């Protein structure tokens, strides 16, 4: 068997949560004023969850459910940025560094454009990287899925 060579690793992540009244809307660690928020065992932050899965996948470390189970009461209501902080430490232990994060949030309302800078800075701080390495785009479902939010993420890690 050939030993893997140092290089670039790519990971993808996806998450979705239903919107419901009486819940906070948290995207990328930022609370956004909205009449509805995301249902989830933790804070339901779809963007942070998608990025967490992408990072874990690129590192060959499984998925978010293996590390932060929704069956574990310790994660009930947890701030999902804690997931990124924990994963960042795992990456460092494995000698991996984040090259960049690119992501898309699908949410019909509210509009995320006014919050993008704050979201990027929040994610970058949790990952201990420059905000210039974090990109977040917002799209709507054009009314096709008004009761959910979803997020997709792709990350590049460098090793060696």
pLDDT in tens, 72-120: 877 777 889 999 999 999 999 999 999 999 999 999 999 999 999 999 9
What is the predicted pLDDT for the residue at 49? 97
Q: Which residues pair with 150 in a beta bridge?
A: 16, 106
Q: Is 29 buried (19+), middle (13-18) or exposed (0-12) by CB count in 10 A?
A: buried
Average pLDDT, the chain: 94
Q: Write a three-state SS string for 56-75.
A: HHHHCCCCHHHHCCCCCHHH
Contacts of 73 (CB under 8 A, 6+ apart): none
H or E segment to which residue 81 belongs = helix 81-93
In the CATH hierarchy, which fold is given to the domain comprising 8-159?
60s Ribosomal Protein L30; Chain: A; (3.30.1330)
- Which pair of structure tokens corresponds to residue 32? 């956004």
Angstrom CA distances, 74 to 48, 100, 109, 134, stand at: 18, 30, 30, 28
Domain boundaries, given as residue ranges, for the chain: 8-159
Residue-wise pLDDT tens digits, 30-76: 999 999 999 988 899 999 999 999 999 999 999 998 988 778 877 77
């Amino acid at each position: 068997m050939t030993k893997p060579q140092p290089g670039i690793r790519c990971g993808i992540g996806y998450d979705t949560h239903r919107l419901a009244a009486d819940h906070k809307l948290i995207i990328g660690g930022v609370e956004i004023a909205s009449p509805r928020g995301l249902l989830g065992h933790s804070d339901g932050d779809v963007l942070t969850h998608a990025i967490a899965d992408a990072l874990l996948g690129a590192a060959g470390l499984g998925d978010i459910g293996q590390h932060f189970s929704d069956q574990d009461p310790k994660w009930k209501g947890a701030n999902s940025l804690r997931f990124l902080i924990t994963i960042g430490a795992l990456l460092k232990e494995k000698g991996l560094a984040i090259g960049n994060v690119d992501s898309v949030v699908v949410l019909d309302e509210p509009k995320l454009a006014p919050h993008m800078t704050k979201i990027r800075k929040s994610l970058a701080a949790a990952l201990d990287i420059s905000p210039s390495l974090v990109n977040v785009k917002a799209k709507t479902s054009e009314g096709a899925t008004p009761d959910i939010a979803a997020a997709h993420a792709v990350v590049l890690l460098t090793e060696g």
